[in-house]
Every structure is written in structure tokens, then in C-alpha cells.
Chains A and B, each alone.
Chain A
Amino acid sequence: MLRLPPFTYLAPRTLEQAVGQIGEAGPEGMLVAGGTDLYPNMKRRQFEPKVLVGLRGIRDLGRISGTPAQGLAIGACATLAQVASHPAVAEGYRALALAAGAVSTPPLRNMGTLGGNLCLDTRCNYYNQTYHWRKSIGFCMKKDGDICLVAPGSPRCWALSSTDAAPAAIALGARVRLVGAGGERVVSAADLYRDDGMRYLSKAPDEILVDVILPPADGWRSTYWKLRRRGSFDFPILGVAVALRSGPGGVIEDARIVLGAVASRPVVATRAAGLVMGQRLTADLIGRVAQAASEPAKPLDNADLTIGYRKRMARVYVERALRELAGLPYDGAPGGAR
């Protein structure tokens, strides 16, 4: 039986308490929400915090409030199951509902939270292994070692951002509210991430992600496509979130295309999105946009299937996502559906 290393568990009832406790714990402390990312990592000894501050007991963090017309605030501890099935999310923020519903498995979605998903540790198949395995291959710099085993000459870690929700949140223009000892700040979801497999979040370790703020949904339509081997369990080896706002006559007024699981952070395909601005979506245009969107995808050999394959699928998936939103026929299915 794989077991957790010992720790002290604190169960604050309020955000203030939590901020105090995590601040006090210092580098020995970690936040935990659903634990579905952290506990497996702890069992494999990627983390051995001495203090865990559990966020689940903080009532306010589980709320979803607002409407698509005014904008929505989703508490960080809302479970993925709640997010996926919430009528307001489904109505105004379909990409997020699809992404949340495509995470892992039904029981894990009952446990895992949106906040935890956004803060999900980056992944690499040299890293998400037991202590024994990592010792066997020779530790890497993300934990216990000093080189990168995927790109041995590299000074940095290339572990993959593997959250399903982040690309969707970024495409939807979400912002996140962070509360720490230094007070509160709100940053765009895109700015939460850094292009570094080790320090992948821009937030301080003792800052708590409190909620995800979604702007009014008016005129936006969105979708999320996920590549994985099985219809369940598997992390994305590619996620594509697309959000479009179209004006009269179907002219695209605003567009965001975000790729997940192709780099250490979600990749915003700005140039590709620019191609559709002021245009009507035709099959031909979509083909060009998809090509452009897939260019920044630079997979490495640290996830399922081959590099070439994952790279190539970026184009196919962007194309399919855009065709879906354009009302053109497409193969495959959005979200986690098979």
C-alpha cells in the first residue's frame, strides 16, 4: 500500500484563518483542496509538507454566484462535478463546463476542485513516478536532482501544464482572485502561469486562490476539445479551448484560442486568433487558423504518445473546435466525449 508521509492537518473555517495558518507554516506548509493532485504526489514523495492547510471546510470557497449576463464567480473549492453541471456555467461558459467535465473520472470530479485544477502541478512522465522509480532513472531537477531528463542540456524544466480548466478559463477571459498575507489581488487567468515546469505559477505559495471571476458571457460562444487515449482517467495530452464573439452577419469580433498540455503553461495562440478577427469563419480560413494555432505547440517526449503525433493533433483539434463553433460538420466530439 502506498501511504502518505506524516504531516499535521489544519482545517481552518475562514479564509482569514487559512491565510494566517499557511503564512505561519512557511515553506513547510501546503494548501490542499480536493487532494486529488497533491495526495498522489505526496505518496510518491514529490512533496513532503509538514503542515497541510485544508481549504474544504471554508464555506464561502464552495459557492458559485452570479449569472451569465452579469458574470459569474466560482469559488475555488467548487468541485469539478459542480462546475461541469452548473446550469449557468453550461449556458454562458461552455468551454469551462466541458473542460471540468472532461477531467479524470467521475469520483475524482466529485473530489477535485476548480482551484486545485488551476493550480495543478505540471506533469512529466519522468516526474510522476514513485520515489523508487525516480531514484532508478536518476532524479531530475524538478525533484531531488539537477538535470532535465527530457532535454538533458536544458537549464530549465519542461514539465507540461496539464490542467483542463486553465485553457478554458483563459479563453473565457477569466480572472482569479488571490488572497495572501499581503492582501488581495486579482490577475487574469493567463497571468497566473509562468513558462517554467518548476515554478509554474506566478502566485506566491502562501497565496490562496479564492475564486474564478468570469466576465459577462454576452455574445461569446466557446468550446473545449481534449486529446487523450481513453474517455476517462487520462490527463490531456492536448487541450484546445476556443472562445469567439461574433457580431452581425457572423463576423468574428473577438477570438481567443488557447492550447493546453503543449508547454509548461497554457499557450495563447494570439496570432492565430488575430487571423479570424473581422472575418467570417469559412472552412478555408479555419484551416489556416488551425495551422497558425498549432505552430507554438512544441511537445517533448514526456507524455503519452509521440511528439510528432501530439504536435500534429494540435492543428486537427483547433480545426475541429473552430468548425464546431462555426456550425460546420466536424469529426470527433468536444470535451471528453468519445
Chain B
Amino acid sequence: MTAGGGPRFIGRPWARVDGPGKTTGEARYADDLVLPRMLYGKLLRSHLPHARIVRLDTSRARALPGVHAVITGRDLPVRFGIMPTSQDEEALCLEKVRYVGDPIAAVAALDEETAERACEAIEVEYEPLAPVMSIEEAVAETSVRVQEHGDGPVPNVHKNVSLEFGDVAQGFAQADHIREDVFFFQGNTHLPMEQHSAVAQYDAAGRLTLWTSSQTPHYVHRALAKVLGLPMSRIRVIATPVGGGFGGKSDPFSHELCAAKLAVATGRPVKITLTREEVFYAHRGRHPVLMWLRTGVRRDGRITACHIKTFLDGGAYGSYGIATTYYTGALQTVTYKIPAYKFEGTRLWTNKPPCGPKRGHGTPQPRFAIEAQMDKLAEDLGLDPVAIRLANATEPFTRTVNHLRITSNGLRECIERVAEASGFRAKHRRLPFGRGVGLAVSTYLSGAGLPIYWNDMPHSEVQIRVDRGGGVLVSCGAIDIGQGSDSVLAGIVAEVLGLAPSEIGLVTADTDLTPIDLGSYSSRVTFMAGNAALEAARKMRELLVAAASAHLEVEPDGLVVGDHRIHAAAQPERGVTFPEAAALAEARFGTLVTVGSYRPPRLAGPYKGSGVGPSPAYSFSAAVVEVAVDPATGEVRPQRVWIAHDIGRAINETLVIGQIEGSVYMALGEALMEEQVFRKGLHKIPSMLEYKSPTFLEMPPVETILVVTDDPEGPFGAKEAGQGPLLPVIPAVANAVYDAVGVRIDEVPITPDKVLAALDQAARGGVGRVGPRRVPPFRFRDPIKVEPPAGWSVPWRRGLPVAGGAPGLPDDLPTGTAPSDARPRDREAPEEP
């Protein structure tokens, strides 16, 4: 059996399936839900950054007319947290508050205004504690403890890791040139347009249902069961369409647990919608990271060793922070062949809203550092930014020194094509003062190789049911957060069954009705749910073809699944329509249900900490940004962005380009204006007006180049697009600013005052740099020493000189790669479904 005439949708642009609902106001987001007898909930939040709760008196609030329930930490004493190793959150603080905004009580009332008045009527007496507000304070502070748990050696250390791969000392010894640089990446937040919202209902039969704007309904399900003490089988979590997530709705949240508890307490549905200010407190955004980076290179630009230290400002709770910490060290080796690599990282507790995963999770910060440093190294060596990156770029089907398996890899092509399209070589160092171009590259996961909690089950499951009328219903736990997962599921199934995506029915993200998907995080859905959908769809197609084959008396191999028909390849008129095939198949096999599931291959390396970083496939990107810098005002205006992205293969080109443009947008915001800053223990600017998010007028044109590499394990060869393209843009801006006006802003965001300060410095004969000078003294753990993967030492590619190549290189230096066991697939059209 063959498909008729190549893919009809895969690899091409087509309309999103959720478009009609989202353009008509029909789509129902969590805050749009209203249930009969519904009450409105509100959280009382701490107004101190760090304090012990001495007394909490809710009696006045309870006495207010219209108030139906008031709960405190005593009602929900069980701790939770997204990572099994950091169960440090309380739905409502019991003894201590740790940041301004930490919730301490919750109210359910007839309307929101009454709930708010009730919150004001709650009396709280605090004993204030000294707040810890920065990385430096957290490292230095010895008497004040933000959290009870930690890794040492000082009290406010959440995590302390150290890993060494290969012989780093020897690597540096072999370098012709070594640089050390210090960088700072300020924290920032997701700022989804939709404020978080959840509605809970506890029915007469004792079942709890929670509708919530969440990227991870499964993890919310688990947290609800744990904190409320109900079996998972009595809880149903339904994720509503998410009005923007970007990682910010991936944790179980206090308001979700409180809405559920209040619903149980009152026997009435309860809705809690956060205000914008509360969304800033819920946070889980980009960690501020201070970084020290030391890299050794040979004269030809090839890296001999790299050592990075990262200091993460984690805020007051764990969230995904352990993973974030490892991510600041994990992926540098995936873009560059680094033969010896050392990573030391620490996450620190501070009295600020907890940081967590934001688009690129832990990798944009070190990516900013390494890409800025690559340009500095290139300049030191007299190389150009393209050449030094090509000299170090990793190859397809290799392993990195930290045991990450790379499959398809279009990095080289990305660099070459983006340089070409932007005219980089003609522009770099050649544009007039005030204009500049910058280049940077990156990589990202197509889904984390391991789930959040240890288990052996699939990460994604899909069920397809075909009814006798030819209707197709796809059920999957995946939640569309705007990235287009509904369209991906529909598109894959439609392609395999010869239908159109808009004809596929979807039930998603409902723990009662849909098989599992772990959630819309780590760019995993297209890859994992996509593979599960592909498997289920192929099984369904087999059933339909078998039935059609018996009916038409044509061998299955002689049949074609075409446009809404199954017919003989040789005689197109000899066939059945899709509904006819469905009826025939149902008659023959009974209920038509097929399932598919996906579990990534075992990829973790042989060391503790190897769980973060592995992915079944990596996307690669390269970006060039052209900027105009006004030397009198320091303002940086991006003029145009060129970005090449190794997508494997696009399931839907429209969606992929949309993800890339959205990533570029978010990256420009982070590079130039967005920052989560604090003053006197408070978030300085928790509003949409003062937290600067780029408007239409700040967005430059973007030229997107899709590089097709057909990943052997991705569905139809697809890899991720939602996060990777953000990564290269931020350092590319920094590099472009340097090219434009000759100053280095080694700190994000690159605000006009910093540019001006650096220009002043340069004018006075200084170096023209703004950025941190040093990292604080800190005792990292003794490193876990890890041997590179087997087969590691392969000769330098002899006879392949790079610009400025150094003569007489020994033959047996490690290259920074080892062959991997994955094999390329045929580089033809996407595999026949």
C-alpha cells in the first residue's frame, strides 16, 4: 500500500484547526467558565518578603456576609512541588512567608469583591526576618535561611553540582589562547496575555473536577491527589485552552489547589483567577544567572576545553530549579565540539517569587555567554564569527563529551544559510558606525528524555476512534498552549488517513477522557505525541485498508490511501470512500479503536545528573541580527533578523514559522527590555505597563529559513520549533551591538543606559564594557569525573583546514565527538506514512 502522490499537508503551510474557535470568541478559556452556584475565590498574599507568621485570625473574614469558606495552611498542610526532590511548596504558607506574594489564606465568596474584602479582613501578625535578595547576598549570608532544605556548603544553596568530562586541565594546556569572561543574564517573566485561572467542582458523588489554564494537567493531577489526599481516580483535570504559557503554567499552583479545596469545603464550584500583579508573583520565569566562562582554543579556533560556572538566583522555592541548574551546563556541547568540559552550577535561595522554566529553560543564559565569548575569541584570533563556529560545529550522528546523543544535525547548514541570506560577511565590521550585525547559534531539545518523576511508562499516548459514519476522533492528553499541538495531532492523523486536518475531531487534555501526555513543556509534544499519533494512525489505516482490500478484492499492497478514498493503485475508480471503508472495517473488526504511544529511547549517560540534557533529537538554529544603535541615546533598534532553523521536517510550515517568529520576538524583548527587577524586597514593576514587552512597533522583519534534516526518530522527521529559535537571537543582538559601536554589554537586557555608559567608558579610553566583573567566591562540590563516551578519541579531521588553521596539530587529539548508534534515515522525501 502506498500514499497517493506524496504528503498533502506535512511539510506545507496549512490553517490551524483551532483557528475558528479562537477567532470568533468561541474558545472557552478557564476564566470564561461559569458554573451554576459558582463561588469566587481569592488568595491573601504576604506583603513581606520574609517573615514568620505569628498569628493568623480569619474570624472576621468568616463572619462577613457572602463568605462561604476561608482556608489556611492548616487545611492544606501537605507539601508539593513539581520535582520529586523539591517538595517544598505549601498551597498556603503555614509558618513562614518567603516572598511578597506568597499566599497565606484563601476565601470563597459569592462574588470577587466580597472575597477581596474578606481577604482584607483576615488579621495576620508577622515577625519580619531579614530578606535575602540577590545572588551575592545568598552566597554570603550565613545566619538567615530562606529554605529548610539545600545542598550546602552555605545555608542558602538549593543545588550545588559539579561535573567534569574528559581531562579539562590537559585541554587547557593544549590551548593556544584562553579567555575568561563573566556575564549576567537578568531574570524575566513569561507575561502570558491570559492570567492564570482555575475552576474546581466537587460533585455529590465525591468526584473533583478542575478546569485550569495549565501546560501540565497531568502534574497538576498528581499534586491535587497528594495535597488533597484524594485518589487520582477521583480527580479529573481538564486543561482549558491556554492563553499563553511559555513555561509559566507548568507547575502546580496554589490557586489550583485552593480552588479545589474550597470546592470540597463548600460543595460549590469555585473559580480563582489571578490578577496581573499576582501573575508576576506566580512567576516561575527565567532565572537570573551570573556566569563565569573559561574557554581554551587553538589558533585555528578549535576549542580544546571549556569550563563554566553558573550561579542561579532561584527565588524562594524549588520549582523546576534542579533541572534548570543542570540545563545551564548541559547543551553547550551539543553545538560545539568541546573535547573537555567542566560544569559547576549552583542555585541559590532568595526571597523572591520562584523562578522556573521559561522558553529555553536554563539554556538561554549560558548560550548568551558562550556565543558572546565565541565572538570575542574569534576577534582575539583574527577569525570571523562564521569561521570559528563552523570550525567547532558538531556533526550529525555523534555523541558529545557529556554523553548526549545527537541524531540529525543541520547546524552547519543553518550557519551557512543564515550567513548567506543576511550578507553577514559583507556587513560584519564593514557597516558604518552605529550599524552592526551579530551572529549566534544554538540547539534545543525535542522533548526531555526523562519524565519529571521516575517511571517506565510512555510519555505520550494517543487513541483514535473511527465511527461508522467516517468520523475520526483523536484523544490525547496534550494541551494546546498556542504552539499548535491540536493541529499537529490532527495533521498527522489526517495525513495518514487521507483526510483534511480540519475534519479530525479532537479531545485533548482531559484526564478522564484522554490517555496521557506529560505536558506542553520542553518542546516535547510534536515529537512525542506526534509519534504516538503516527503509530495509532498507521494502525487505524491498516484496519481500514484490510477491510477495503477484502471488499475490493485487491491485495493491501495494491491499495492507495488517497484523498478521502482507498482505491487500487492501478485503477483509481476501483475504490471505496473513507466512510465506506470505516463501515466495512467496523463490520469486520468491531469497534474501531487504535492506540499509539511514545517513550524516548534510554539516553541518559553513566553519571548522576545525566538525566537532564538527553533528548531523542535536537533542533539547531543560527541567527543574524542587524541593529542600529543611536550613539547619543544608546538605543538599540533591531533592523532585521535572519534565522535558520533545523526543524527536521515541518509538520505544518505555518505553525513552525509562527513559533520561530514568536521566539524571535520574545528573545528581542529579553535582549533589550524585559527584566524582573526588585526594590526594597518587592517586585519593582508588576504591571504590563512597566514590565516592558515589545509592541508591534519594536518588531523588525524576520526572514526564516527552514533547514530540513529529516530526523530518523521524529514523526515524519520532525523536531522542535517552539523554544530553540529564541536562543541565538539574544547573543546575536549583543554581538551586533559590539559590531555597531564597539562596546560589549555582557549583561542582559541591553538597555540604552548601559550602552551609553559603555560608550562613555570607551570614549575615556576604557574598554567599553558593561557587565559583571567577577563571580563571588563559592565552594562548588568536588566534581564527578566522567569519562567521555566509548570510541571518543578519533583523529582530527586532517586536511580540512579552517581559516587561520594552526600547523602541526597532533593526530590523536580528541575532536569532541564520538559516533552515535542512531543512524541517518534516507534523506529523501518524508518517509511514506
Tell me the A residues contacting B by CB distance below 8 Å. 1-3, 125, 128-130, 132-133, 135-137, 227, 229-235, 304-306, 308-309, 312-313, 316, 331-332, 338
Which of B113, B637, B682, B697 is the one whose CB lies under 8 Å from A133? B682
Q: A230-B692, A304-B690 are in contact. Are A332 and B753 (CB under 8 A)?
A: no
In the complex, 7 of the A-B residue pairs with CB atoms within 8 angstroms, ordered by the A residue number, are A132-B47, A135-B47, A136-B100, A230-B694, A309-B634, A309-B752, A332-B633
B713 to chain A, nearest CB (A): 42
Does B684 have its Cβ within 8 Å of any Cβ on chain A? yes
Q: Are A232 and B756 in contact (CB under 8 A)?
A: no
Which of B684, B751, B756 is the one whose CB lies under 8 Å from A125? B684
Within 217-265 of B, Cβ neighbours of A (below 8 Å) are at none
What 5 pairs across the A-B complex have the smallest Cβ distances?
A: A231-B697, A136-B47, A309-B753, A232-B695, A306-B753
B692 to chain A, nearest CB (A): 5
Q: Are A136 and B682 in contact (CB under 8 A)?
A: yes
Total residues of chain B contacting the partner, CB 8 A? 36
Q: A230-B697, A232-B695 are in contact. Are A332 and B630 (CB under 8 A)?
A: yes
Which of A132, A227, A229, A308 is the one whose CB lies under 8 Å from B277? A132
Interface mask (B91-103 → A, CB under 8 Å = 1, otherwise 0)? 0000000001000
Interface mask (B679-723 → A, CB under 8 Å = 1, otherwise 0)? 011111111011010111110000000000000000000000000
A317 to chain B, nearest CB (A): 9
Q: How far is the CA of A304 from the CA of B630 in the complex (A)?
A: 19
B663 to chain A, nearest CB (A): 20
Q: How far is the CA of A338 from the CA of B689 in the complex (A)?
A: 18
Q: A133-B682, A136-B48, A308-B753 are in contact. Are A1 and B275 (CB under 8 A)?
A: yes
B198 to chain A, nearest CB (A): 14
Q: Are B630 and A305 in contact (CB under 8 A)?
A: no
- Hey, which chain B residues are within 8 Å of A312, CB to CB? 756
- Hey, which chain B residues are within 8 Å of A136, CB to CB? 47-48, 100, 681-682
Q: A1-B273, A229-B692, A338-B697 are in contact. Are A133 and B633 (CB under 8 A)?
A: no
Which of B112, B686, B695 is the one whose CB lies under 8 Å from A1? B112
A262 to chain B, nearest CB (A): 16
Which of B45, B698, B753 is the one whose CB lies under 8 Å from A231? B698
Does B426 have its Cβ within 8 Å of any Cβ on chain A? no
- Hey, which chain A residues are within 8 Å of B695, CB to CB? 230-233
A228 nearest CB neighbor, chain B only: B692
Q: Count chain B CB atoms within 10 A of each CB in A133, A227, A313 and give the residue with the most.
A: A133
- Hey, which chain B residues are within 8 Å of A235, CB to CB? 689
Q: A1-B273, A229-B673 are in contact. Are A313 and B698 (CB under 8 A)?
A: no
- Hey, which chain B residues are within 8 Å of A331, CB to CB? 630, 632-633
A42 to chain B, nearest CB (A): 14
Q: Count chain B CB atoms within 10 A of each CB in A130, A230, A234 and give the residue with the most.
A: A230
Kindly list 14 other residue pairs between chains A and B, CB separation below 8 angstroms, not including A2-B276, A125-B685.
A1-B273, A3-B112, A125-B690, A136-B47, A137-B681, A227-B633, A233-B695, A234-B692, A304-B690, A304-B692, A308-B753, A316-B632, A331-B630, A338-B697
- Hey, which chain A residues are within 8 Å of B681, CB to CB? 136-137
Within 92-123 of B, Cβ neighbours of A (below 8 Å) are at 100, 112-113
A316 nearest CB neighbor, chain B only: B632
B683 nearest CB neighbor, chain A only: A133
Q: Are B753 and A230 in contact (CB under 8 A)?
A: no
B753 nearest CB neighbor, chain A only: A309
- Hey, which chain B residues are within 8 Å of A305, CB to CB? 751-753
Q: Are A232 and B273 in contact (CB under 8 A)?
A: no
Tell me the B residues contacting A by CB distance below 8 Å. 45, 47-48, 100, 112-113, 273, 275-277, 630, 632-634, 637, 673, 680-687, 689-690, 692, 694-698, 751-753, 756
A332 to chain B, nearest CB (A): 7
- Hey, which chain A residues are within 8 Å of B100, CB to CB? 136
- Hey, which chain B residues are within 8 Å of A130, CB to CB? 275, 277
Q: How far is the CA of A312 from the CA of B634 in the complex (A)?
A: 11
Q: Are A234 and B689 in contact (CB under 8 A)?
A: yes
- Hey, which chain A residues are within 8 Å of B45, CB to CB? 132
- Hey, which chain B residues are within 8 Å of A313, CB to CB? 633
B353 to chain A, nearest CB (A): 13
Q: Are A309 and B48 in contact (CB under 8 A)?
A: no
Q: A306-B753, A313-B633 are in contact. Are A230 and B277 (CB under 8 A)?
A: no
B631 nearest CB neighbor, chain A only: A331
Q: A1-B273, A132-B45, A309-B756 are in contact. Are A233 and B689 (CB under 8 A)?
A: yes
- Hey, which chain B residues are within 8 Å of A231, CB to CB? 695, 697-698
Q: Are A133 and B277 in contact (CB under 8 A)?
A: yes
- Hey, which chain A residues are within 8 Å of B275, CB to CB? 1-2, 130
Q: Count chain B CB atoms within 10 A of each CB in A136, A309, A312, A316 and give the residue with the most.
A: A136
A4 nearest CB neighbor, chain B only: B113
- Hey, which chain A residues are within 8 Å of B685, CB to CB? 125
- Hey, which chain B residues are within 8 Å of A230, CB to CB? 673, 692, 694-695, 697-698
Q: How far is the CA of A132 from the CA of B100 in the complex (A)?
A: 10
Q: How far is the CA of A279 from the CA of B272 in the complex (A)?
A: 66
Q: How far is the CA of A135 from the CA of B44 in the complex (A)?
A: 13
A198 to chain B, nearest CB (A): 21
B111 nearest CB neighbor, chain A only: A3
Q: A1-B112, A1-B273, A125-B685 are in contact. Are A232 and B47 (CB under 8 A)?
A: no
Q: How far is the CA of A332 from the CA of B634 in the complex (A)?
A: 12
Q: Are B684 and A3 in contact (CB under 8 A)?
A: no
Q: How far is the CA of A129 from the CA of B630 in the complex (A)?
A: 32
- Hey, which chain A residues are within 8 Å of B684, CB to CB? 125
Q: How far is the CA of A330 from the CA of B459 in the complex (A)?
A: 59
Q: How far is the CA of A332 from the CA of B629 in the complex (A)?
A: 11
- Hey, which chain B residues are within 8 Å of A304, CB to CB? 690, 692
B97 to chain A, nearest CB (A): 11
B100 to chain A, nearest CB (A): 5
Q: How far is the CA of A87 from the CA of B256 in the complex (A)?
A: 54
- Hey, which chain A residues are within 8 Å of B113, CB to CB? 3
Q: How far is the CA of A285 from the CA of B31 in the complex (A)?
A: 60
- Hey, which chain B residues are within 8 Å of A316, CB to CB? 632-633
- Hey, which chain B residues are within 8 Å of A1, CB to CB? 112, 273, 275
Q: Are B752 and A133 in contact (CB under 8 A)?
A: no
- Hey, which chain A residues are within 8 Å of B683, CB to CB? 133
B697 nearest CB neighbor, chain A only: A231
Q: How far is the CA of A67 from the CA of B277 in the complex (A)?
A: 47
A303 nearest CB neighbor, chain B only: B690
- Hey, which chain A residues are within 8 Å of B752, CB to CB? 305, 309
Q: How far is the CA of A316 from the CA of B630 in the complex (A)?
A: 11
- Hey, which chain A residues are within 8 Å of B48, CB to CB? 136
Q: How far is the CA of A309 from the CA of B635 in the complex (A)?
A: 11
B694 nearest CB neighbor, chain A only: A230
A235 nearest CB neighbor, chain B only: B689
B757 to chain A, nearest CB (A): 8
Q: How far is the CA of A137 from the CA of B45 in the complex (A)?
A: 14
Q: How far is the CA of A229 from the CA of B669 in the complex (A)?
A: 11
Q: Count chain A CB atoms within 10 A of each CB in B632, B634, B683, B751 and give the residue with the most.
A: B632
Q: How far is the CA of A143 from the CA of B687 in the complex (A)?
A: 19
B684 nearest CB neighbor, chain A only: A125
- Hey, which chain A residues are within 8 Å of B632, CB to CB? 316, 331
Q: How far is the CA of A137 from the CA of B686 in the complex (A)?
A: 13
Q: How far is the CA of A85 from the CA of B171 in the complex (A)?
A: 67
A324 to chain B, nearest CB (A): 14
B281 nearest CB neighbor, chain A only: A132
Q: How far is the CA of A305 from the CA of B684 in the complex (A)?
A: 12
Q: Are B112 and A232 in contact (CB under 8 A)?
A: no
Q: How far is the CA of A323 from the CA of B176 in the complex (A)?
A: 52
Q: How far is the CA of A316 from the CA of B698 in the complex (A)?
A: 22
- Hey, which chain B residues are within 8 Å of A232, CB to CB? 695-697
Q: How far is the CA of A1 from the CA of B276 in the complex (A)?
A: 8
- Hey, which chain B residues are within 8 Å of A137, CB to CB? 680-682
B120 nearest CB neighbor, chain A only: A131
Q: How far is the CA of A146 from the CA of B204 in the complex (A)?
A: 53
Q: How far is the CA of A316 from the CA of B112 in the complex (A)?
A: 49
Q: How far is the CA of A2 from the CA of B685 in the complex (A)?
A: 17
- Hey, which chain B residues are within 8 Å of A234, CB to CB? 689, 692
